[in-house]
């Protein structure tokens, strides 16, 4: 197993620091179809993943592959437009890289977003789910291997992996934007993909307490918990999970549905950032 040293991450972070004018306090990782959030930043500076030493490269559809730095209101923000997934061939250990870079850049708060399938039968396509907790029962931890004490302790707590105060703020801002009719709250269940889940797996996930299912996010939130970064999570419900309706699962359908609700989610994210 490859060992990632502090110097490995510092090489990436130091390159980025030379390209930007202000260290970010808040980072946003964009899910499928949410690239418009990056377009809303003022004083934008884009840094391509291809130019960053040691940086992973995004291959997922609808993921650009760049960090965008700028301002939302008075807040200094960085946006990850293009995330990384285990199904692309990256190990769980490699997937710790983006958030560790964010930590070295000065990020204290992370907002993670994703497109997810509804497991909860009370959810509808187009809903926004505030993530209150997560379930990951397969695969390694991104913290597997030698621990880097500079980021966090060997054993770390995940009781409040999604910060309750940020969850409450998000609910307040959603109500202020008249989004309460499409607002949900629940547990995000991670499956590695790239295949969609079977109907039997969705039934099992429901029994285990999952409300929505997706193929991302958990390695980022676990790394943030290790680093001491506060996390808020939002899922765009882009489809009903397998077996709930007669529809077959399609990645293109997820992207197209996500695009229809992306502005609503982007408005909420930007409003939350201004009130953090």
**Structure confidence by residue, pLDDT tens digits, 43-75:** 999 999 999 999 998 876 655 799 999 999 999
Phi, psi of 181 (to 5 degrees): -70, -25
Cβ–Cβ under 8 Å, residues 123 and 184: yes
Q: How far apart are CA 8 and CA 29, in angstroms?
A: 21
Distance CA 48, CA 52 (A): 7
8 Å CB contact between 79 and 110: no
Query: What is the model's pLDDT at position 187?
Result: 98
pLDDT for the residue numbered 197: 95
User: Is the pLDDT reported for residue 21 higher than 60?
Assistant: yes
- b/e burial code for range 88-100 (CB count within 10 A of at least 16 → b): bebbbbbbbbbbb
pLDDT of 63 reads 57
Question: Cα torsion for 115, 120, 121, 124, to the nearest 10°?
Answer: -30
CA–CA separation, 134 and 112 (whole Å): 12
Secondary structure string (H, E, C) spanning 37-90: HHHCCEEEEEEEHHHCCCCCCCCCCCCCCEEEEEEECCEEEEEEECCCCHHHCC
**The domain defined by 6-275 carries CATH number 3.40.630.10:** no
Q: Give pTM, 2 decimals.
A: 0.95
Q: For residues 274 and 272, what is the distance between their CA atoms, to the nearest angstrom? A: 5
Return the C-alpha torsion angle 209, 211, 217, 221, nearest 10: -50
The answer to which of 141-155, 186-200, 231-245, 256-270 has the lowest mean pLDDT is 256-270
What are the structure tokens assigned to 185, written together? 């709250």
105, β-bridge pairs: none
Q: Cα(72)–Cα(106) distance, rounded to whole angstroms? A: 17
CA terminus-to-terminus distance, the chain: 39
Chain mean pLDDT for the chain: 93
Nearest to 233 by CA among 66, 126, 112: 112
Handedness of CA 118, 205, 234, 195 (dihedral sign): negative
Instruction: Name the pLDDT band for 8 (thresholds 50, 70, 90).
Output: very high
Q: Which helix (H) or strand (E) holds 245?
A: none
**Residue-level pLDDT at 58:** 80
pLDDT given at position 32: 75
- Ordered by start, the domain boundaries in the chain are 6-275
Q: Which of 215, 221, 220, 208 is nearest to 238 (CA)?
A: 215
Asked if residue 247 has pLDDT above 90, the reply is no
């Amino acid at each position: 197993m490859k060992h990632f040293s502090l110097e490995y991450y510092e090489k990436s972070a130091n390159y980025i620091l030379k390209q930007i004018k202000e260290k970010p306090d808040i980072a946003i990782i964009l899910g499928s179809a949410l690239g418009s959030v990056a377009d809303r930043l003022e004083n934008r500076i884009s840094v391509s993943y291809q130019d960053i030493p040691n940086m992973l490269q995004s291959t997922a559809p609808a993921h650009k592959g760049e960090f965008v730095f700028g301002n939302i209101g008075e807040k200094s923000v960085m946006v990850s437009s293009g995330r990384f997934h285990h199904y692309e061939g990256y190990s769980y250990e490699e997937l710790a890289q983006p958030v560790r870079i964010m930590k070295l850049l000065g990020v204290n708060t992370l907002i993670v977003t994703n497109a997810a399938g509804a497991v909860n039968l009370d959810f509808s396509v187009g809903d926004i789910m505030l993530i209150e907790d997560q379930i990951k029962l397969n695969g390694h931890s991104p913290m597997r291997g030698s621990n880097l004490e500079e980021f966090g302790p060997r054993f770390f707590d995940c009781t409040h992996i999604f910060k309750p105060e940020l969850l409450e703020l998000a609910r307040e801002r959603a109500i202020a934007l008249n989004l309460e009719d499409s607002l949900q709250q629940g547990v995000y269940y991670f499956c590695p993909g790239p295949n969609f889940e079977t109907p039997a797996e969705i039934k099992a996930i429901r029994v285990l307490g999952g409300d929505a299912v997706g193929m991302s996010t958990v390695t980022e939130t676990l790394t943030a918990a290790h680093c001491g970064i506060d996390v808020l999570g939002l899922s765009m419900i882009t489809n009903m999970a397998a077996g709930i309706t007669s529809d077959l699962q399609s990645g293109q359908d997820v992207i197209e549905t996500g695009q229809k609700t992306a502005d609503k989610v982007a408005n909420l994210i930007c409003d939350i950032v201004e009130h953090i």
